[in-house]
Amino acid sequence: MSTTILGYKISAPIMIGPTAMHQLAHPEGEVATARAAAACNTIMILSNMSTCTVEEVASSCNAVRFFQLFVLKRRDISAQIVHRVEKNGYKAIVLTVDTPRLGRREADIKNRMVAPQLRNFEGLLSTEVDTDKGSNLEALVKEIYDTSLSWEDIGWLKSITNLPILIKGVLTHENARKAVEVGVAGIVVSNHGARQLDYTPATISVLEEVVHAVGGRVPVLFDGGVRRGTDVFKALALGAQAVLVGRPVVYGLAANGERGVRRVIEMLKDEFELTMALSGCPSVKDITRSHVTTEFDKPRIIHQMITSFTSQHNDVSERKNRQLLEVVVLWFQSSTSVANANLSVDLSLKFKAKSCPQHQLLLQQFLNLRSRLLRGAAEPLTPQNKPKIS
C-alpha cells in the first residue's frame, strides 16, 4: 500500500489534511495529531490556524510534515512564519487559495464562535477582534487575510523559500494548467470541505478533469469527503496520488486524543487494503481507471454502443435503427443506477418485442455489450465476434 509523495515514502496514500484549532477537540491539540501521524508513518499538514506552534509540533515527534499557509495582508508576517517552518524541518508549503474571504458559516454565527489564541501569530499580530455579533473568526479572517492574492504571488512565495509549494483549492482544468505554468510542485483538489461556497462541485466529480489537465507533470492530491477506504480507492482510480483526511481526524482526536487519530488512520488503511484485495490490486500501481465507473462515463459508453450497433446492422431498416437509438437514449436518461438501467432495458425489451422480434435480439445484445463495457472488458468488434441478425 505504500506510496511516495514528493520523494517521501508513506505507508499508504492517506495523509492528514490541514484542519484548524485542534485544541478545541483535545487539550494536546496538533501535537497529539502529529504523534499519531508519525506512528502511522504518514504526512501531516499543519494548519496555519493551529493552536500549537510550528515549533511545538516539530519537536513532538520525528515525522515528515508539511505546512499549510494563508497569505496575510502583512506579508512580512507571512514571510516570518514561512522562515520558521523551513527552520523547523517542514518539507513543503501547501498554499490555500480558495479563501480570500471566509464562507458564511451559519453555525459559527449562530453560536457566536470565539476562536482560541492562534499561537503561530503570538508576538506578531493580535488575533483578538471586537465584534458585537456573529463569529469573531469571520471578523478575524476579514481583518488579516490578503484578499488580493493572485497567481503572481506564487513567484513571491518562491522567492522567500526553497521549499516545494503545493496549491490547495483547485477545482478546474484551467486553474490546474495555470498552477503548473507558475511552477507549483503539486496540486490539491479541494473545495475546503464544502464550507466556503454553497453548491460548489464535489471534489470527486472534478478530480479527473484536474488530473487530465496536469498530465502527470506534478502530483495531484485529493481532499474532501474521504470517510472509507473505498473512497481512497476511488480517488486513486481517478488519478490522485494520495488523499487528505480532515474531519475524521478531528473526530478521532476529540474521542481519544492521539490514540483516536491513530485508530482513524488504521481503519482507513485496513478498509483500503481490503478494497484493493477484493478488486484484484496487489499494489497501489495496479489501481486503474477501469476499476470505477462515473456518471461522466455515460457519453463514452453510449457512443461506443451506438457506433457498434449502427455499423453492424445494415440489414435493419433506418426506421428500426432509429427506434433502437431512441430506446438507448431513453435508457441512459432514466438510469440513475445500474439496477435502474437494467430494469429500463428489460422493459424496453418487452415493449419492442411486440412490434419487432429483431429488436429483442438487438437489445439483448446491447445489454450484454453494456455490461461488458462497464466492466472494461469489451473486445473490439471483428468479423468473428460481430453479432448477426438472421
Residue 40 is placed in which grid cell?
Answer: 502511522
For every residue of 130-197, DSSP letters joined together read: --SSS-HHHHHHHHHB-TT--THHHHHHHHH--S-EEEEEE-SHHHHHHHHHTT-SEEEE--GGGTSS
Catalytic annotation present for 22: no
Rounded distance between C-alpha atoms, residue 351 and residue 341, angstroms: 15
Task: Using alpha carbons, select from 118, 119, 143, 116 the residue that is nearest to residue 129.
Answer: 143
User: In terms of residues, how long is the chain?
Assistant: 390
- Report how far residue 157's alpha carbon sits from residue 163's, in angstroms, rounded to the nearest whole number: 10
Amino acid at 132: D
285 DSSP 8-state letter: G
- Catalytic: which of 192, 291, 313, 359? 192
The span from the CA of 370 to the CA of 365, in Å, is 9
Report the distance separating Cα 239 and Cα 289, nearest Å: 8
| Interior angle at CA 388, CA 383 and CA 390, nearest 5 | 145
Cα–Cα distance for residue pair 43/58, rounded to 1 Å = 12
CA distances from 301 to 204, 298, 370, 383 (A): 20, 5, 8, 21
The residue among 72, 209, 74 whose CA lies nearest residue 146 is 72
| Residue 348 CB neighbour total at 10 angstroms | 22
**Which residues does the annotation mark as catalytic?**
192
